[in-house]
């Protein structure tokens, strides 16, 4: 039921935990922890009358209403004592999550700064229930409709590594949960290793904890580390950061002098790129890696296959006159009606074919990406969850357009180019 993270494999602990277990066994810097395996989840839901597998009205509330078994809480307490009872991160590791076919980026729950067996048990239950959140169900439905993913899955079945097990049908719904030491990161970010051995590693970085970068609530610094070790960088105006204060997560303003200061130097970017290549070689392909720096040390928080590579740097400066510009996030050009969305209260106004224009895209907004023709955000980077999902869905995305919700007007017809980062209003 409780598996040390170093022993985790995908067949019993999910793709996310299986990958981290493999990295730990290889001696790479992953925070220590343990996994609440599929067995605990299956025991918790075995006798629930859950209805159909995609019925969130029945399944999610039923899981949330059931107290975690005392035996599970006791096991969590012992495992936490073994770590020294520190603050921990509690993260989902679902079946078919973090695979080469679908990332499920941001679709399930994660919690930081959790302390004590009772709080951890509540977070574990919330991770179990998030398997049946509307956004997770929508994501699975979309992937089932894509026959090309089935073809790619068949092609890869002969390419499993020794930490993968096939004693479970690939389409089972099950949720394991990772519990790891929480890191109070000074800097966090994401990197994508190249598909081409001679390609460049893409890195994004910002101050504080990682959700600011992966969630797209800040526009991060962007670094490109070439095969010869040369580094090019674009330094962003990083206005906010997320940090732990006791048991709370706090968003604070970054002091003005630090906003446009590089979050990492070129030497650190080069070290990250070398580490990324080592992980990619171990995992057998290009990797999407979440990382953090705490007390001056680089840590790996997640590694999963790259499901949809970001656009290459734009080689053109031919931006249309009057166009807004941002970071190219997902290839393609599309024209549609701009729909300004500042929060859930605006969701009902989005119609198929609209261009979603928003401050940033919370993972809960994923269903909107399925009906939108494209997306424009005011903050966020090319490696954020929203950009990854946009690329998986094949819709153009332009990220980090300052004041996009104010400069573009609701109902205006706009054209967005996800390969160059240009956003052009085609009528007043």
Q: Please list the active-site residues.
A: 385
Torsion angle (degrees, nearest 10) of CA 378, 381, 382, 386: -70
Contact present, 96 and 170 (Cβ < 8 Å): yes
Q: Which residues pair with 188 in a beta bridge?
A: 206, 292
Burial 36-47 (b: 16+ CB within 10 A, else e): bbbebbeebbee
- For residue 260, give the DSSP letter: T
Q: Say how far apart CA 127 and CA 145 lie, in whole Å.
A: 25
The CB-side HSE value for 257 (13 A sphere, CA atoms) comes to 0
Contact present, 102 and 96 (Cβ < 8 Å): yes
Q: Say how far apart CA 108 and CA 105 lie, in whole Å.
A: 8
Q: Say how far apart CA 123 and CA 179 lie, in whole Å.
A: 10
Q: Say how far apart CA 276 and CA 7 lie, in whole Å.
A: 22
Q: Say how far apart CA 218 and CA 258 lie, in whole Å.
A: 14
Q: Say how far apart CA 209 and CA 399 lie, in whole Å.
A: 20
Q: What is the DSSP track for 201-254?
A: EEEEEEEB-THHHHTTSS--EEEEE-TTS-EEEE-----EEEEEETTEEEEEEP
List the one residue out of 220, 391, 198 whose CA is nearest residue 277.
198
Return left, alpha or beta for 225; rule: phi > 0 is left, psi -120 to 50 is alpha, else beta. Answer: beta
């Amino acid at each position: 039921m409780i598996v040390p993270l170093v022993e985790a494999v995908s067949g019993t602990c999910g793709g996310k935990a299986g990958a981290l277990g493999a990295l730990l066994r290889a001696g790479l810097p992953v925070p220590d922890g343990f996994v609440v395996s599929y067995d605990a989840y299956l025991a918790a839901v075995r006798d629930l009358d859950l209805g159909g597998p995609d019925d969130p009205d029945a399944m999610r509330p039923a899981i949330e209403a059931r107290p975690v078994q005392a035996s599970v809480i006791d096991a969590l307490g012992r495992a936490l004592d073994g770590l020294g009872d520190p603050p921990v991160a509690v993260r989902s590791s679902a079946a078919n999550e973090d695979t080469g076919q679908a990332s499920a980026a941001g679709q399930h729950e994660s919690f930081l700064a959790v302390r004590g067996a009772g709080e951890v048990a509540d977070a574990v239950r919330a991770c179990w229930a998030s398997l049946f959140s509307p956004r997770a169900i929508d994501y699975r439905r979309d992937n089932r409709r894509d026959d090309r993913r089935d073809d790619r899955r068949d092609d890869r079945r002969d390419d499993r590594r020794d930490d993968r097990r096939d004693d479970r049908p690939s389409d089972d719904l099950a949720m394991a949960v990772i519990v790891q030491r929480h890191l109070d990161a000074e800097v966090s970010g994401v990197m994508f290793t190249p598909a081409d051995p001679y390609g460049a590693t893409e890195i994004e970085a910002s101050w504080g904890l990682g959700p600011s970068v992966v969630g797209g609530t800040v526009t991060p610094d962007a670094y490109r580390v070439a095969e010869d070790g040369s580094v090019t960088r674009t330094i962003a105006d990083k206005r906010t950061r997320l940090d732990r204060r006791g048991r709370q997560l706090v968003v604070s303003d970054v002091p003005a002098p630090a906003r446009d200061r590089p979050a990492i130097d070129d030497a650190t970017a080069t070290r990250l790129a070398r580490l990324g290549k080592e992980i990619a070689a171990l995992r057998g392909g290009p990797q999407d890696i979440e990382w953090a720096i705490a007390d001056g040390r680089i840590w790996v928080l997640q590694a999963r296959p790259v499901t949809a590579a970001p656009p290459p740097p734009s080689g053109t400066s031919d931006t249309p006159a009057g166009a807004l510009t941002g970071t190219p996030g997902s290839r393609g050009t599309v024209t549609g009606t701009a729909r300004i969305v500042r929060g859930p209260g605006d969701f009902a106004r989005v119609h198929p074919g609209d261009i979603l224009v928003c401050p940033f895209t919370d993972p809960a907004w994923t269903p909107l990406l399925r009906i939108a023709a494209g997306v424009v955000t005011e903050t966020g980077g090319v490696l954020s969850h929203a950009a990854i999902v946009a690329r998986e869905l094949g819709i153009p995305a332009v990220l980090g357009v300052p004041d996009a919700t104010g400069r573009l007007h609701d109902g205006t017809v706009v054209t967005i180019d996800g390969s160059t980062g240009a956003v052009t209003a085609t009528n007043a």
